[in-house]
């Protein structure tokens, strides 16, 4: 059992709590990175499903009940993402910080600023 | 500009850094929840792509260069997930903690323990 | 070897051609339904990626070079879909016709006609 | 209205039937290529969901009721794929035949045959 309290609010805290959760249920046998990547993609698709027939404007102004549903899907997505990173021994926060640094150099403000076409092209490089 | 330092290692720190990043490039116009959900799903698919022809066993033992590539995809996934949550004003950590509590009640240890078939059925409820 | 000619233009013709293709390369070993479902989702994500930063209007008016790229992704998607159906011994055309019949009863014209809100709700039933 | 009968068993027949279906319900307004790509990816994720905790072996031997559910998801996937291709004025069958020709040259039998490692590498080129 983890020594962290249930209300630990960091990513690290959630990682340990999820470890305990899977271990107690003997579910590690199902949590190969391959399987977790599938579960992750299925959860993200449930987010997409909420937005597929909405306009962009509508997606910014979800009614409360819809928003609560989307919140649950985001939670599931984060849970599987943390679990997958744990199984691969990847530090998610550090990885994200590194990637943002790369993006800051890849998309310099003066080249990327405010142009949809440019944005798309840069994005597809 | 955010007052947080670039090396802030919390989810909150990344959220603010991503805000600055998008604002400086005038990219908020593209970051509707609808569009971000699409970008999120495209990133997750790049994770899936790494695992699709591997056995579960192989997915647990990635060679170093593959692992580095997967790490970058996980980073991109977290980045878009944080960005999407920010746009919807959702607290990701709190949402995940709430969901884990629900899961702990939904899958009690004595019912769920160690049975693949049971696991699958419970999972599909 | 299939007796169908390479230019057979039916779904059945493609199915047989893909069988020959995989057999000749000894790739059936990788084509479990599980793996094929992953490959299918990765291909669809490449379609999504083309549209993620476009407005709905822009997505209707792709420049020629973009359209050619999307066409290739649609082809890849159909290829994996046919392959997956073949491995599961599912008749895709018959399955689609059956599903359309179900949809026609599920969404009667008089209830579903022309109302976005209604559409979304019906769709989520 | 299409002049094709409901039991037309070609891809072309389904395309026309889906056109009638959307037109009668005034749903073309929702069927931008952007939106249809999202719906397509959400359907594929439902296929993935069926396989995510199964071994490859299990995925080859679905129980009858599971297989029937997967069949419905494959049908939905084909339906949205046909609809998306129609909106983009793409001939799916021709596109797939062209792509298979390209693949036949890209993966020559003598180089690609029977080697998982080779397969993966070739696939990622």
pLDDT tens profile A51-106: 999 999 999 999 999 999 999 999 999 999 999 999 999 999 999 999 999 999 98
Ramachandran angles phi, psi of D6, nearest 5°: -60, -25
Question: Is-contact A17 A4, C-beta < 8 A?
Answer: yes
Residue A114 pLDDT greater than 90, yes or no: no
> Residue C2: is its pLDDT beyond 50?
no
Task: Give the mean pLDDT of B84-99.
Answer: 97
H helical segments located in chain C? 11-24, 33-51, 56-59, 64-87, 92-106, 109-112, 116-124
Cβ separation A116–C53 shorter than 8 A: yes
Joined tokens for residue C9: 């233009």
Say which residues have a Cβ less than 8 Å from residue D13's Cβ, sequence separation at least 6: D4, D5
- Annotate B63-74 with DSSP letters as a single string: -HHHHHHHHHHH
| DSSP class per residue in chain A | --SS-TT--SHHHHHHHHHHHHHHHT-GGG--HHHHHHHHHHHHHHHHHHHTTS-HHHHHS--HHHHHHHHHHHHHHHHHHHHHHHHTT--HHHHHHHHHHHHHHHS-HHHHTT-HHHHHHHHH-
A57 touches chain B (CB under 8 A): yes
Could you tell me the two tokens for A110? 């003066």
3-state DSSP helix/strand/coil % of chain A, to nearest 5: 75, 0, 25
Please count the CA atoms within 13 angstroms of the CA of D28 that sit on its side-chain side.
Answer: 10
Find, in chain C, the residue whose alpha carbon is nearest to that of B30: C53
The interface predicted TM-score (ipTM) is 0.89
Q: Which of residues 20-39 of D touch C (CB under 8 A)?
A: 21, 24-27, 29-30, 32-35, 37-38
Instruction: For D17-91, list the strands marked E by DSSP.
Output: none
Instruction: Give the number of A-C residue pairs with CB atoms closer than 8 Å.
Output: 16
| Distance from C-alpha of B81 to C-alpha of D8, rounded to nearest angstrom | 44
Across B18-27, D68-77, D106-115, least confident range: D106-115
**What is the b/e burial string over B16-25, where b = at least 16 CB atoms within 10 angstroms of the residue's CB?**
bbbbebbeeb
Q: In the prediction, which pLDDT does B50 show?
A: 98
Q: What is the pLDDT of residue C3?
A: 43
Q: Is the pLDDT of residue A125 over 60?
A: no
Six-digit token string for B58 = 């192989």
Whose tokens are 């993620």? That residue is: C52
Distances in whole angstroms, Cα of residue C116 to Cα of each of A52, C55, C102, C103, D84: 12, 18, 21, 17, 19
| 3-state class (DSSP) for residue D31 | coil
Read off the pLDDT of residues D11-32 as tens digits, 9 standing for 90 and up.
999 999 999 999 999 999 999 9
Pairwise CA distance, residues B122 & A25, whole Å: 12
Residue pLDDT, tens place only, C45-95: 999 999 999 999 999 999 999 999 999 999 999 999 999 999 999 999 999
Residue range A15-22: average pLDDT? Answer: 96
Residue A53 forms contact with D (CB below 8 Å): yes
DSSP D88: T
For A83, B78, C10, the CA distances from B94, given in Å and listed in that order, are 17, 16, 52
Comparing alpha-carbon positions, the chain A residue that sits nearest to B25 is: A113
| Residue D40 pLDDT greater than 60, yes or no | yes
φ, ψ dihedrals at C44, nearest 5°: -60, -35
Structure-token pair, residue B69: 């590539």
C-alpha distances out from residue D72 to A73, C99, D60, Å: 23, 7, 17
Copy the structure tokens of residue C32.
Answer: 């479990």
Helix axes A64-87, B33-51, angle to 10 degrees: 30
Q: D54-79 as b/e, with b when 16 or more CB fall inside 10 Å? A: bbbebbeebeeebeebbbbbbbbbbb
Partner C contacted by D99 (CB < 8 A): yes
Closest residue in chain A to residue B57, using alpha carbons only: A32
Residue A20 tokens read as: 């305990």
Give the model's confidence band at C8: pLDDT under 50 very low, under 70 low, under 90 confident, else very high: low
Q: Is the pLDDT of residue B1 over 50?
A: no
pLDDT at D125 over 90: no
The pLDDT of residue D3: 44
CA angle (A60, A61, A67) in 5-degree steps: 95
The arithmetic mean of pLDDT across residues A9-15, rounded, is 88
**Best residue in A17, A18, A21, A33 for a mutation probing chain B (most B CBs within 10 Å):** A33
3-state secondary structure of C40: helix
Tokens linked to A98: 């590194």
Kindly state the tokens that stand for C44. 């669809």
Quick: pLDDT tens for B93-122: 999 999 999 999 989 988 888 765 545 565
Cα(D88)–Cα(B57) distance, integer angstroms: 41
Q: Select the residue of D26, D77, D103 nearest C113 (Cβ to Cβ).
A: D26
């Amino acid at each position: 059992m983890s020594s962290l309290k249930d209300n630990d609010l960091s990513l690290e805290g959630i990682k340990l709590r999820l470890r305990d959760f899977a271990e107690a249920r003997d579910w590690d046998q199902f949590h190969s990175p391959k399987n977790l990547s599938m579960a992750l993609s299925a959860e993200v698709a449930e987010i997409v499903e909420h937005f597929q027939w909405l306009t962009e404007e509508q997606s910014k102004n979800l009614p409360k009940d819809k928003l609560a549903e989307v919140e649950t899907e985001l939670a599931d997505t984060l849970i599987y993402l943390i679990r997958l990173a744990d199984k691969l021994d990847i530090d998610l926060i550090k990885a994200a910080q590194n990637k943002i640094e790369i993006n800051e150099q890849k998309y310099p403000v003066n080249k990327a600023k405010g142009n949809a076409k440019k944005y798309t092209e840069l994005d597809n490089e």
